[in-house]
Structure 1
Amino acid sequence: MGHSSAAPSEVRKAGAPTPPPRQGRRTTTPREMRRANRAGLDEAHRDRRAFRETRANSTTPDEAHADHSIPSERRFRKQREPWLACATAGLALCLACEQYERYYALWPLDARTFEELILVALVTGSAFLACAFSAIRRTKPLYARRGLLAILALAQTGGVAIRILQMAGGPLPEAFAIAGPLLRQPEFVMLALYAQFFLDVGIRKSVQAFAWGLVASGIIQAAFTELPSEIAIPLLLLFMPAAAMLLGLAGWLRSQDDLAREREDISAELEASKGFSRTFSFWECCASIALVNVLLLVLHSRGVAFQDQSTMSAVMQLSAGFGCIVAGVAFLALLNYLQEAECLDLLRVTILPAVLIALYFSATIQAGSPAMYFTPLCVCYSMLMLLVWATPRYYRIKGSSFLCVCAVFFSFKLGWAVGLFGVNIAPSWWGSAVEATFVFLAYTVLLLFSAFHAVRTWRMNMRNTAGSPATRNSSQSASPSQFDATCSHVADRFDLTPRESEVLPYLARGRNARHISEALVISDGTARTHIMHIYQKLAVKSQQELIDIVDESM
């Protein structure tokens, strides 16, 4: 009887089966409890992630401004794009290396021989041809090959070192005297590799980086007038290795997500600027760049007569650096008001010939001080360099823009060789009248190119107006009020949200996500989200299809 009141666990014999649980109760093991906790946490994380995505895709103006304020977004961009800062700094050093010949306070301008010009043209042409073959084979990008960058940096540094030894007056073997000018050519190949790197960057970012590079190189050139030669010359030896190192570092820091985001912007920007390549053929672009460089070499040779390795040389170098700064600031200002293609077309058609003609007349009558002469000359040279930098990306040769980069850069170098031949060599062979003949022919052909471009553009506009329906170009010819009313009608028709209705007119005008984000004071990610939603609601796959819908509604 005393045992009957004991607990069941006490009377159960060892090894006896465990009785089933009571009805309505379930035993939970520790493993099941841990699984349940993890499942609950995962579900909570999914809920929070969905909530954040819902807030990020918010389309009301208040939420958009609350979640994406411009100052924090700009700070976020700067933190996420260290590769762009490295590439811009390296480009500035590369441009400073390209300006070595204009460091008038350090050394005089070299006198070139005919054999030297031929060798330079052959070596430069071979280098760009090798780069072109690499692009055709679609191998690893050249800017990502660290061995090639190291070879270019060492060759350039060796060429500058030979130039320094020649200035010191020390005896040099004849082979070194011949190799010196050749070893100083990798600076332009390195600039082409930077252009290849920036082909995978948005057009606006690329032009902005080049403009900032011009400003920085101008500051360096002007600052070197105040440095003693014992400090300035060793610093010059470090420019090209630093530029090569920064290019390799920028390629290493840039992720695949950065590439995908930039290429999306590039496709939209190229779609909006197809008219540039249609009205300005590639061979015309190369020929114009070569001819303009011929004229610049003639003008530069006239100004070098002021060089005296003293105060006047320092003033010339300071004026040249100031010209680069002015040009870079002007390019950045133009980008605030014009599209990239419009900016380049304006420089090519209007500003560049006018400045060249004015400079030539000022050089002919020997008017103005060196400061007044070299500042606009370097502004003009910077304009030409911007055309060399940016225009190849609007063209394709066998599906590659880098082939166009190689062709345009070689055209620039060929114009340099022809200009030096016409200034330094041809007059000694055929008389001083040859230089005037070179200038006259270059000016004539350049003006003919400009006239042909104007006529071709006028004919294309007339053909589009006469041969297409009246509604074909209605988005360009309609008044702003009519265009906005049409966009509002399309937004109501496809049930767009208020924020998407604000984005639609920019898309219908051909703007890209970056432009929309700056215009509406939202982030790039929010602008892309609105664009994606608009494409889904309108059932279109490209911006051109959206533009067609707005044109038909108009």
Structure 2
Amino acid sequence: MEYSDPRGTRRSKGGMATVSKKGIGALRGALTPAAWAVLIAYALYRLVAYTSYVTNFGFFADPLGYVSDLPFMIGAALGNFTSCAIVFVLCATGRLRRWGLDCRSALLIVALIYLVVAFAPAPLLEEGVATSLLGVLWGLTVTVVRFAAIELLRAERSPMVLIVQLAIAAFLFALGSYGLRSLPPLWSTLFEVAAALVLVPLFGFLRSYLSRLPDDDEGAVPAADGGESWAAAGQEDAVHAGLARFRRTLAESSTPILAASFFELVCGLVNMYASCAHASFAISAQVPLEGSLVCSVLVIAFVALTARVPHSRFMYLVVFPGAIAVFLALPYFGEVWGRSLGTVIYSAYSFTAMLSMFCVIRACRRTGDEVYGIAAFMAAATRLCLMVGLALGWYFGNLREGSTFLHLSIVCVTCVYVLGMVLLLWGFRSSREKRVVKVVEVIVEQPPATFEEFRAARVEELTERYDLSPRERDVLVGLAQGNTAASIAEGLHISTSTAQGYIKSLYVKLGVNKKQQVIDLFQK
């Protein structure tokens, strides 16, 4: 993978070992117990969500793979859309604010459904209506838990820690799924019930702990109404401010959401066609787990070796188009490679899903937006594209010449996605260029004449270059002046331990490990 050095310098091969040691050391210090707890909670959520989907809450002893039972999938889509619509409306009207979505009741319902399916009479559940009802309950409950899990991840300030959390959670989820498949059905069901029940106090504790942390959103970007806070503004102003933040978040995360949605569409198309036409490249139940393992190992290795997260332009221009382009190999190599190509496809799928989630969460932090609105929009968009893909796959799978239409559809969807991504990036680049021109005009007209003006300009430059939060910017100023953590804490009216936490986070972003390096960087 490529990576970018914020200082604009190239690293020699001889320095990669030093970079790796620094990256691992900084990452070890930044992964606090709270970060590990969030990681474990997200991994358990993914395990419960995936296993309950592919086994229909334990109704099927053997996982069904990507294409689950059709009535269950339809019910899951209805439940998903309902949850997304309710959450989005509550968020848009200002009735749902940060840390306002409690998922513990949903987790208890998931555990109860598992027990009912395990001990209910089998003929009662073999009806299509019962399976559809299970799907609706899955969509209503698991979607809510998903939003709450994403909100826990949003609390992480360091981009490097966030992407490592996503990668390790994917690794643990895949290992856990493999382990459950080796257990008898009843023991697997009891484990899922225990996992859901463990998440109830774990989510409650993490929500209580993280909500007490200082709110240092990088979204100190003023809203269209002048940046009034939720508490100070009236209800109508708060709604307008929330919608303005949502629009900025959507503008920044449109490309990742587009990538994840189109990938779901093509995955649904290919898998449903393979299931209906009995094609040899049907993706087995193990392939998604293999893809998650490959993706997580590669991402963790990249972060450990480079001490950086993938640059957004690299993701938009290389990773996302390259991932969706993997499907172009299906018309030519699908019948020959089969299982191997499925692993490649799901590795690309895992990359797309993980990096899309990373970009969306980072966009929420930059804009100061709540995670609920954009998470509901993304979940509804991806589920809608999945259902469209499944419908097209079913239609093509029942045609005599369906394979020809399938191949043409894959090519068309890929081309439309690439074209849409180019248009979005072009618009984003044009808006960035306009803002840069304005900044250059101001700098030319009013060059810094005093040391204070130079220092302020340098602070703003480093804040934008390293994507610092407002509180990290204040800590940067204190360190550049040679102050200690205690002095910085006293000046900012925070505790010394909190100041030390911000210093660690700042070190990770700047790629340094001591105060003198911060001073040297500031004076360059």
Q: Which residue identity lines up with residue 136 of structure 2 in the other structure?
A: L
User: 1:456 and 1:231 mapped to 2: Cα distance?
Assistant: 53
Query: Does structure 1 residue 421 correspond to structure 2 residue 391?
Result: yes
**Cα contact 2:269–2:393 (8 A) shared by 1:** yes
Residue deviations 1:94-152 (CA, integer Å, cap 9, x gap): 11223325679823245655x76654433222211221233245456586665x422x2
Aligned to 2:320: 352
RMSD: 5.4
Query: Does structure 1 residue 409 correspond to structure 2 residue 379?
Result: yes
Which residue of the other structure, out of 292, 295, 320, is the alignment partner of 1:327? 295
User: 2:98 and 2:174 mapped to 1: Cα distance?
Assistant: 27
Q: Secondary structure at the match of 2:63?
A: coil
Aligned to 1:200: 155
Aligned to 2:17: none
Give the drift of 1:228: 4.2
Q: Which residue identity lines up with residue 184 of structure 1 in the other structure?
A: W
Which residue of the other structure, out of 364, 367, 377, is the alignment partner of 2:345? 377
Q: Which moved more, 1:502-511 or 1:380-389?
A: 502-511
Which residue of the other structure, out of 190, 202, 208, is the alignment partner of 1:246? 202
Does the C-alpha gap of structure 1 residues 451 and 155 become closer, same or farther in structure 2, counting only changes over 3 Å? same
Give the share of equivalent positions with the same residue, in percent. Answer: 9
Residue deviations 1:499-532 (CA, integer Å, cap 9, x gap): x999998447345276999xx9xx9984993997
Residue deviations 1:74-108 (CA, integer Å, cap 9, x gap): 99876xx5443332211101112233256798232
Which residue of the other structure, out of 137, 140, 148, is the alignment partner of 1:183? 137
Query: Does structure 1 residue 453 correspond to structure 2 residue 424?
Result: yes
Give the drift of 1:411: 0.8
User: 2:412 and 2:39 mapped to 1: Cα distance?
Assistant: 37
Aligned to 2:64: 108
Bigger Rg, structure 1 or 2: 1
Does the C-alpha gap of structure 1 residues 99 and 209 become closer, same or farther in structure 2, counting only changes over 3 Å? same
Which residues of 2 match residues 96-495 of structure 1 at below 5 A? Answer: 96-100=47-51, 101=53, 106-109=62-65, 113=70, 119-139=75-95, 148-150=103-105, 152-157=106-111, 160=114, 172-173=126-127, 175-185=129-139, 186-202=141-157, 204=159, 205-254=161-210, 256=212, 258=213, 260=214, 263-264=215-216, 266-267=218-219, 286-301=257-272, 316-335=284-303, 337=306, 343-362=311-330, 364-366=332-334, 372-393=340-361, 394=363, 400-425=370-395, 427-428=397-398, 432=402, 435-436=406-407, 438-456=409-427, 459-460=430-431, 469=440, 493-494=451-452
Give the drift of 1:422: 1.4
Does the C-alpha gap of structure 1 residues 242 and 434 become closer, same or farther in structure 2, counting only changes over 3 Å? farther
Does the C-alpha gap of structure 1 residues 281 and 144 become closer, same or farther in structure 2, counting only changes over 3 Å? closer
Give the drift of 1:418: 1.3
Does the C-alpha gap of structure 1 residues 502 and 122 become closer, same or farther in structure 2, counting only changes over 3 Å? closer
Does the C-alpha gap of structure 1 residues 508 and 291 become closer, same or farther in structure 2, counting only changes over 3 Å? closer
User: 2:248 and 2:64 mapped to 1: Cα distance?
Assistant: 40
Aligned to 1:540: none
Give the drift of 1:217: 0.6
Query: Does structure 1 residue 529 correspond to structure 2 residue 488?
Result: yes
**Cα contact 2:49–2:142 (8 A) shared by 1:** yes
User: 2:332 and 2:121 mapped to 1: Cα distance?
Assistant: 31
Q: Which residue identity lines up with residue 254 of structure 1 in the other structure?
A: L
**Cα contact 2:277–2:398 (8 A) shared by 1:** no
Give the drift of 1:294: 0.4
Q: Which residue identity lines up with residue 297 of structure 1 in the other structure?
A: G
User: 2:487 and 2:217 mapped to 1: Cα distance?
Assistant: 10
User: 2:390 and 2:287 mapped to 1: Cα distance?
Assistant: 22
Q: Which residue identity lines up with residue 253 of structure 1 in the other structure?
A: Y
Q: Which residue identity lines up with residue 266 of structure 1 in the other structure?
A: E
Does the C-alpha gap of structure 1 residues 502 and 279 become closer, same or farther in structure 2, counting only changes over 3 Å? same
Q: Which residue identity lines up with residue 291 of structure 1 in the other structure?
A: F
Does the C-alpha gap of structure 1 residues 400 and 503 become closer, same or farther in structure 2, counting only changes over 3 Å? closer
Does the C-alpha gap of structure 1 residues 436 and 471 become closer, same or farther in structure 2, counting only changes over 3 Å? same
User: 1:72 and 1:524 mapped to 2: Cα distance?
Assistant: 23
Give the drift of 1:446: 0.2
Q: Which residue identity lines up with residue 349 of structure 1 in the other structure?
A: L
The number of residue pairs the alignment matches comes to 430
Does the C-alpha gap of structure 1 residues 397 and 441 become closer, same or farther in structure 2, counting only changes over 3 Å? farther
User: 1:270 and 1:528 mapped to 2: Cα distance?
Assistant: 29
**Cα contact 1:120–1:182 (8 A) shared by 2:** yes
Which residue of the other structure, out of 46, 64, 67, is the alignment partner of 1:95? 46
Aligned to 2:10: none
**Cα contact 1:90–1:244 (8 A) shared by 2:** no
Does the C-alpha gap of structure 1 residues 300 and 249 become closer, same or farther in structure 2, counting only changes over 3 Å? farther
User: 2:175 and 2:483 mapped to 1: Cα distance?
Assistant: 32
Give the drift of 1:450: 2.4
Q: Secondary structure at the match of 1:124?
A: helix
User: 1:469 and 1:293 mapped to 2: Cα distance?
Assistant: 42
